[in-house]
């Protein structure tokens, strides 16, 4: 089964409440949600937003997306996304061979076409993990797709794939202005 998790906490040091910050009049997270909803592989019933922010959870719920309120200990700026993913896996009772699609709320350039390309790469090549990278080949964090067992795997993770994009992860007002051009 394929599941999508969109982690989106409230706090942000550089751009206050960035996951709901408007880009061309639309909250950043809405771009991600809209594209995930267009994926041909992810059932709507398997899309979840995990957040510590009630307003964002209500927004996602109003878009028909299931929500998970994360506990306070997973809400700080020193929390790794992996801890949030592990919490979600546990809450949903996912199986080792389930596929988890992790999409960042602050990556408004995500497209369903690239999302589906990543899923197809993982399945067709029997990979453990696929993620997007920038033209510089550095992981941009926009999309990460893993087999569920990878979340708890000890040691080096093999069988990886990458898809190159030229997307901007939004972290500052300058990023917003760049994307609004």
Q: What is the pLDDT of residues 42-78, one digit of tens each?
A: 999 999 999 999 999 999 999 999 999 988 777 766 6
Q: Which domains, ranges and CATH numbers included, belong to the chain?
A: 2-179 (3.90.550.10)
**How many CB atoms within 10 Å of residue 63?**
15
In the predicted structure, residue 125 carries a pLDDT above the cut 70: yes
**pTM exceeds cut of 0.85:** yes
Please state, in angstroms and rounded to a whole number, the distance separating the CA atoms of residues 129 and 99.
9
Q: Which of 36-50, 59-73, 80-94, 147-161 has the lowest mean pLDDT?
A: 147-161
In the predicted structure, residue 152 carries a pLDDT above the cut 90: no
Please state, in angstroms and rounded to a whole number, the distance separating the CA atoms of residues 113 and 91.
29
Identify the pLDDT of residue 76: 67
Identify the pLDDT of residue 153: 66
Identify the pLDDT of residue 156: 65
Q: In angstroms, how far apart are the furthest CA atoms of the chain? A: 44
Identify the pLDDT of residue 121: 97
In the predicted structure, residue 141 carries a pLDDT above the cut 90: no
Q: What is the mean pLDDT of the chain?
A: 91
Identify the pLDDT of residue 177: 95
In the predicted structure, residue 140 carries a pLDDT above the cut 70: yes
Helix H or strand E segment including 33: helix 28-37
């Amino acid at each position: 089964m394929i599941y999508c998790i969109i982690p989106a906490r409230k706090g942000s040091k550089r751009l206050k409440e960035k996951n709901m910050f408007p880009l061309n009049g639309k909250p950043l997270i809405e771009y991600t949600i809209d594209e995930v909803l267009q994926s041909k592989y992810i059932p709507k019933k398997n899309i979840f937003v995990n957040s510590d922010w009630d307003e964002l959870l209500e927004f996602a719920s109003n878009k028909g997306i299931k929500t998970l309120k994360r506990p306070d200990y997973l809400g700080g700026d020193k929390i790794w996304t992996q801890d949030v993913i592990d919490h979600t896996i546990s809450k949903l009772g996912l199986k080792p061979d389930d596929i988890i699609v992790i999409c960042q709320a602050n990556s408004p350039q995500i497209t369903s076409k690239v999302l589906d390309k990543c899923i197809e790469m993982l399945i067709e090549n029997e990979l453990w993990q696929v993620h997007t990278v920038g033209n510089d080949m550095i992981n941009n964090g926009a999309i990460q797709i893993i087999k569920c067992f990878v979340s708890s795997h000890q040691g080096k993770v093999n069988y990886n794939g990458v898809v190159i994009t030229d997307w901007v992860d939004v972290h500052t007002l300058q990023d917003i202005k760049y994307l609004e051009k």
